[in-house]
Structure 1
Amino acid sequence: MSQDNNGDLSQFSMLDLFRMEADSQTQILTDGLLAMERLKDDASAVESMMRAAHSIKGAAAIVGLEVVVQLAHGMEDAFIAAQNGKLALTPNRVDVLLAGVDLILQLSRLQDSQVDAWLGANGEQIKRTMHAITTIAFLPEPVPLVPPPPPPAVAQPPAAKAAPEFPIGELPIAPPPPAPAAGAAEEAPAAAARHPAPMKHAQNFDKLLSLASESRINAHQMHPFIQNLQRFKRNQSSLFAVIEQLHEAISNSTDASLKEKSLLALQKTHPLKQFVLEHIADIEAYERRLLGVSQSMVDEVLTMRMRQFRDGVQHFPRMVRDLARSLGKDVQLQIIGEDTLVDRDILAKIESPLNHMLRNAIDHGMDPAADRIAVGKPGTGTIVLEAKHRAGMLSIEISDDGKGVNLEKIRARVIERKMAPAQMASSMSGAELLEFLFLPAFSLKEGITEISGRGVGLDIVHETIRSQNGTVRIESELGVGFHTYITLPLTQSIVRALVVDVKGEAYAVPIVQVERVLKVPQSTIHTLENKQFFDFGGEHLGLVSAAQVLELGATEAGSAELAVVVIGTGARRYALVVDAISGEQSLAVQAIDPVFGKMRDISAAALLDDGEPVLILDVPDLLLSIDKLLHEGGLHQLAKSDAAERRKTKRVLVVDDSLTVREMERKLLLARGYLVDIAIDGIDGWNVVRSGDYDLVITDVDMPRMDGIELVTLIKKDIHLHKLPVMIVSYKDRPEDRARGLSAGADYYLTKGSFHDETLLDAVNDLIGDAHR
């Protein structure tokens, strides 16, 4: 959620924070278990589930929910066994673990006053579920399904044929797939033997694309060589002209020997002229052939990754029919552009967002047939899913003839949830109001129904599309229908990018994420609260130095005009100031070596047409970096300014992937007067600690992407940070874990069980003293 990094969570109680964390982590557990049930050996899913269970356990311990601690601990043990190959997560075992997930979710949604009564009423069921989880490895198959306990204080509605209501941003659960036919298990090894491992395919493709891209670059490098030959031809022509003039001058002399030599020199120039002309023409023809062949090689390699759009959507018509019937509606799906070619990776990534948008259309947009006929519409609702290539991009449109969205209802909900002042909300356009549907947990419905219990929201759709360098936009007209526009690159292997120069270095911005390219006169720039703006279509658009965001130094503001690239959307739209704009190029994306980890603000690398390396900017990451600069008040005015004075209050960085633990530590430290920044995992912590000036780092051990021990090791090895005190706070209190942390260089090792007293604050005081200098 967006509050994790910069939002103020101080108004929430610890139980509220636990509910937020449980909602997100149980979703990870559910998705992971379903993935394991399908894929059997999804190592990344097991790793994610282990972290989710660990986070839930820690958060539950803080709020005193011992039942959840025990459930999460048992699930964590099961995941460790699965990771080590000692436990197969069969469908029946997944049922048991999902029952545990349901218990955790139900407990997290109880009010304080309901907990004891609910635990008493469901004690036997809880005991059976805990026993099933702790003994999951020893239970023979088939394991009896453990039904989830009933939700607290919810009366059962009377039977009715009316379709249930769902909140916007949620989607219902698809029915489980049919069991595999007999013999399917035996056929799996044979099928695996017939098809090479996906990783091998990916490696072969990357190598082929790299070679084809290098061939294309070599072809482009013929061009400057030909330009040099043309320059040589011009110089040679000048020389020949001088020889002709010299010959004419000598012809008027009386020296016969000199005349003869002059004539001979002139005669020798003629074959040289012809030689250069013919060979330049030959080389230019060769260049054209080489460019054509190299580009064809790139195209052919990319074609190996392309699939027809139908391959990713062929199951949607049946899904739409079945879901509509289950809701008492009559809906048909029309698919246009089934032959449109799409990169197989992109097609796989967008299947879930498309699935969600179709389900949303059925659930929220479509009325039963009788209601549609009553307003003059056909009884059968229609959803159109269309894919096509447009301007070198993949364009996907989803439209329905349902009831649309009531914009006034969105406006009222925005005001009710205090997401914008009433005066501002009243002036918002329809497009601005629809943007709120992309926010996490934003809903126009009051309750969550059974069928939408494990759904994902429009915020996930937005994030998934954005992660593929795409954009999504929605339109709606009340009573007429809903329209979704998705734009994506045709492939992630070749990206059309705008190449810019920042402090003498080339950087590329995916063209799909560039809104405008401008030249901004210095005279139009104005300053407000130490930030610089200019007028952009009636909007005050903030200027941000690319050099500062990328930590390359200060931007010189000597020229009369600034080269600006507009990125982002809505309130997060910024004008990125660069030194120069070189133009557009198609770049063959090359992954950065994993040894570097996730580089902040950088997504990949490539080679320009002239063979020079270029880094491709990660625009969503770049927007986060800009937000952080704005939040910290560190945005400079086109040139780096010196700090007025050293701050007076000590600053602490808290690194923990658990929302609850982060907020607990933040509140404790703020109450003592320290300045506190937070990071959500080890990589984020490493990026933040290098860009800030901290007096102490407090870190967890078990975190995604980079654990706390690695973070401590990097800090202590860094020439600028090695003296920075680091405290490890972890549930692991075994002597060997403590020794591992201290040997990495940690200055203090504390267990999270100490949060309920002054131990944490005393330890901080021991390391860095009071909050004020």
Structure 2
Amino acid sequence: MSQDNGGMGGDLSQFSMLDLFRMEADSQTQILTDGLLAMERLKNDASAVESMMRAAHSIKGAASIVGLEVVVQVAHSMEDAFIAAQHGKLALTPNRVDVLLAGVDLILQLSRLQDSGVDAWLAANETLIKQTLDSIATIAFLPEPVNLQAEMGWMQQAPAPAPAPAFPVGELPIAPTPAPVPAEEVPIDRRASAAGAKAQNFDKLLSLASESRINAHQMHPFIQNLQRFKRNQASLAAVIEQLHEAISNSTDPKLKELSLLALQKTQPLKQFVLEHIADTEAYERRLLAVSQGMVDEVLTMRMRPFRDGVQPFPRMVRDLARSLGKDVQLQIIGEDTLVDRDILARIESPLNHMLRNAIDHGMDSAVERIAAGKPGAGTIVLEAKHRAGMLSIEISDDGKGVDLEKIRTRVIDRKMASAPMAAAMSGAELLEFLFLPAFSLKENTTEISGRGVGLDIVHETIRSQNGTVRIESELGVGFRTFITLPLTQSIVRALVVDVKGEAYAVPIVQVERVIKVPQTAIHTLENKQFFDFGGEHLGLVSAAQVLELGETDASSAELSVVVIGSGARRYALVVDAINGEQSLAVQAIDPIFGKMRDISAAALLDNGDPVLILDVPDLLLSIDKLLHDGGLHQLTRADHTERRKTKRVLVVDDSLTVREMERKLLQSRGFLVDIAIDGIDGWNVVRSGEYDLVITDVDMPRMDGIELVALIKKDIHLHKLPVMIVSYKDRPEDRARGLSAGADYYLTKGSFHDETLLDAVSDLIGDAHR
């Protein structure tokens, strides 16, 4: 057998004969599927017929060895059909391809059964097997499809009739697609453990290769020191030469001799340093080339051709279109484009969703297409290529496109925007609504698409892979989707920034722009700061605040800004410094830390320093939360002094209603208020800012208020910070427990009203202004 055995070095002794047959069936049935789809379109593709004959013959022989007589019969009947097609006696029309594809499905179904489950499955599916074999045997008697292109001539001057299925699939005398194999009958893949070990080996190799590259980069400062030494040596040699010239006029022969000797000894030293610097630089170049080559080779081990992830799509598109009475073909361009195997696995579902949407939403029936002057068969093109160091995937169809006015109407109907605002939206802005959850233009939901799912799943999945999605549409012409992804998740090209003395990396694919913003260009509206960015008011957000590292020092005349996000969720992230781009070998964070908010992974910089890689989608959620809660700090220089004149209160409560009520009460008295949604969140926030008071609930997830109070009172920097507990628990023992933990005030939610809370705050910290 010539198929890939999963990188096991050709050692097949660990597999049973049925395992080997299963591996061969997977390979040969794919050849049959590809060939049948090609024949359906190209009609007289001799090479496709030849390859299908060989595949059917191979399956027949392999099935005979393992005793699967039903597969032998199916493969033999299919082989007879291919021979008839090769001699021009049988046209492989869509109806006949349906029958042969049902035979392929039956072979694949049988090949995936365990030894012990074959007899039981055969007995339970005797009718299905007989129907499939009879359908293949009588394949020549199936009706030919109607030639719609020829029949449509009389319709040029008449309105198109109501669309009808071009091919009445439900009436075909073919076997239905076999049901999925029950879970208990699916064999355990014995290659799983080998694959896991292989992944671990890859991670170790990548780690070693990246360390080698870092060590190679660390040669550079060493060479810079050598260059500095060379310059100092040259200065010393010049001084010695000047000294020799001065002494040459002396009458002391001993002094002349010594100065000449010193001058002579400088020459070999200069030559020695020059030669060794050249050798060291050459060594650095070789080391960098070898270490980079190691990284590239290790990454190549994870790369798979794009075809490996999209092989089922042509069959899926063809079958789904026929079930809807449509004629659609899928063209795949760039099948040899290499993609990281993990990315390939994760984008399979989004691509599947986009293709199904294109068939169900975008493609009209053959009757409607021909009436509109288009070919009866619709075309979807799926193209993958490398562009600018990224993986670019484009999905385009020649369907009816999206009616922008329909989106505009739906937006107004759902009160997502006012009529004047919707009227002013551009086409690109309207198309962004398709990415929102539960936004669909389908009037009637189906099992195929339009179930309120929309494109939000596609959008979120691609974003989770550090990618971007953009869509375009032209009514009556078609729909296009542009997806950009990293070539691999193991190496990420990132922008390295400095925030409060710490290095952070932002995946470059998620960086829209890096700019310097003058203080004079910053405007304030409703306590939010922004600047003009290409005619758009772009909000400024402190990276230090979002990452809970304190406040940004905005004393310089210009702010360093990284623009992230897209559409309405685009923000200008203010950082302390931009340190340039680097390619980073991604290292997973130890699971003991759990999911760290706003952080996706870690890496080592070229100089060996650790860096955290920001999770931009998570970061955008954190920014949204700050905006919603009104907790964003201002950044202008005048703001810092002003803020310190106003006292700050942190409200910690898992109830949105209570949080908002307390926040509004405190803000009405002039206090600056930040909020936290539970004890852990409150502990992180209180350590990152300067607060005059903490108000906390008791019963909260992850960490309760008593634990939070205890942590605050034990902290060397926070132990003097006043803490008020506001809780529904009003028993004496509850109050005693809170006060014994260190709380300065205990108030019950059931008894206080507005003035009670404000009076308690006033007792603890006085008025809002210092």
The aligned residue for residue 207 of structure 2 is 210
The aligned residue for residue 271 of structure 1 is 268
1:553 aligned to which of 533, 550, 555 = 550
Cα offset for 1:304? 1.7
The aligned residue for residue 216 of structure 2 is 219
CA distance in 2, matches of 1:486, 1:572: 18
The aligned residue for residue 336 of structure 1 is 333
Spell out, residue by residue over 1:202-228, the C-alpha distance to the aligned partner (whole angstroms, 9 max, x if none). 433222222211111110010010011
Cα offset for 1:251? 2.2
Spell out, residue by residue over 1:346-366, the C-alpha distance to the aligned partner (whole angstroms, 9 max, x if none). 111111110000000000000
Name the structure, 1 or 2, with higher relative contact order (CA <8 Å, separation 6+). Answer: 1
Cα offset for 1:567? 1.1
The size of the alignment, in residue pairs, is 558
2:489 aligned to which of 471, 487, 492 = 492
TM-score when normalising by structure 2: 0.66
Distance of aligned partners of 1:380 and 1:727 in 2 relative to their CA distance in 1, 3 Å threshold: farther
1:602 aligned to which of 591, 599, 607 = 599
Distance of aligned partners of 1:377 and 1:273 in 2 relative to their CA distance in 1, 3 Å threshold: same
Distance of aligned partners of 1:337 and 1:637 in 2 relative to their CA distance in 1, 3 Å threshold: same
SS of residue in 1 equivalent to 2:516: strand
The aligned residue for residue 431 of structure 1 is 428
Cα offset for 1:619? 1.4
Q: Does 1:765 align with 2:750?
A: yes
Q: Give the root-mean-square deviation of aligned CA atoms.
A: 3.8
CA distance in 1, matches of 2:702, 2:621: 26
Q: Give the conservation status (yes or no) of the 8 Å contact 1:589–1:604.
A: yes
Identity %: 76
The aligned residue for residue 130 of structure 1 is none
CA distance in 1, matches of 2:507, 2:235: 45
Q: Give the conservation status (yes or no) of the 8 Å contact 2:680–2:702.
A: no
CA distance in 2, matches of 1:583, 1:242: 40
The aligned residue for residue 643 of structure 2 is 642
Equivalent AA in structure 2 for residue 765 of structure 1: G
Equivalent AA in structure 2 for residue 590 of structure 1: Q
Distance of aligned partners of 1:431 and 1:201 in 2 relative to their CA distance in 1, 3 Å threshold: same
Equivalent AA in structure 2 for residue 654 of structure 1: D
Cα offset for 1:409? 0.5
CA distance in 2, matches of 1:767, 1:686: 25
The aligned residue for residue 446 of structure 1 is 443
Which stretch of structure 1 is more off in the superposition, 437-446 or 261-270? 261-270
The aligned residue for residue 611 of structure 1 is 608
Q: Residues 68-467 of structure 1 correspond to what in structure 2 (within 5 A)? A: 162=164, 178-180=179-181, 185=186, 188=188, 191-192=189-190, 194-196=191-193, 198-452=195-449, 456-467=453-464
Distance of aligned partners of 1:335 and 1:728 in 2 relative to their CA distance in 1, 3 Å threshold: farther
CA distance in 1, matches of 2:267, 2:651: 79
Cα offset for 1:673? 8.9
Cα offset for 1:768? 11
CA distance in 1, matches of 2:283, 2:434: 55
2:471 aligned to which of 474, 480, 486 = 474
CA distance in 1, matches of 2:217, 2:204: 20
SS of residue in 1 equivalent to 2:376: coil
Task: Kindly name which structure, 1 or 2, has the bigger radius of gyration based on alpha carbons.
Answer: 2
The aligned residue for residue 718 of structure 1 is 711
TM-score when normalising by structure 1: 0.65
Equivalent AA in structure 2 for residue 458 of structure 1: L
Equivalent AA in structure 2 for residue 216 of structure 1: R
Spell out, residue by residue over 1:646-674, the C-alpha distance to the aligned partner (whole angstroms, 9 max, x if none). 689x956227xxxxxx88x999x89x999
1:566 aligned to which of 563, 568, 572 = 563
CA distance in 1, matches of 2:450, 2:419: 32
Q: Give the conservation status (yes or no) of the 8 Å contact 1:629–1:635.
A: yes
Structure 2 unaligned regions, length at least 5: 1-120, 125-161, 167-175, 668-672, 716-722, 740-746, 760-770
CA distance in 2, matches of 1:677, 1:530: 14
SS of residue in 1 equivalent to 2:653: strand
CA distance in 2, matches of 1:431, 1:585: 32
Q: Give the conservation status (yes or no) of the 8 Å contact 1:652–1:695.
A: yes
The aligned residue for residue 117 of structure 1 is none
CA distance in 2, matches of 1:598, 1:342: 26
SS of residue in 2 equivalent to 1:695: strand
Q: Does 1:695 align with 2:692?
A: no
Structure 1 unaligned regions, length at least 5: 1-140, 145-159, 165-174, 656-661, 701-707, 730-741, 748-761
Q: Give the conservation status (yes or no) of the 8 Å contact 1:533–1:542.
A: yes
The aligned residue for residue 653 of structure 1 is 653
Q: Does 1:586 align with 2:583?
A: yes
Q: Give the conservation status (yes or no) of the 8 Å contact 2:544–2:575.
A: yes
Equivalent AA in structure 2 for residue 718 of structure 1: L
Q: Give the conservation status (yes or no) of the 8 Å contact 1:489–1:495.
A: yes
CA distance in 2, matches of 1:509, 1:637: 23
Cα offset for 1:503? 2.0
SS of residue in 1 equivalent to 2:245: helix
CA distance in 2, matches of 1:574, 1:297: 38
Q: Give the conservation status (yes or no) of the 8 Å contact 2:318–2:328.
A: yes
Cα offset for 1:406? 0.2
CA distance in 2, matches of 1:767, 1:531: 32
Which stretch of structure 1 is more off in the superposition, 238-247 or 194-203? 194-203
Distance of aligned partners of 1:224 and 1:385 in 2 relative to their CA distance in 1, 3 Å threshold: same
SS of residue in 2 equivalent to 1:382: strand
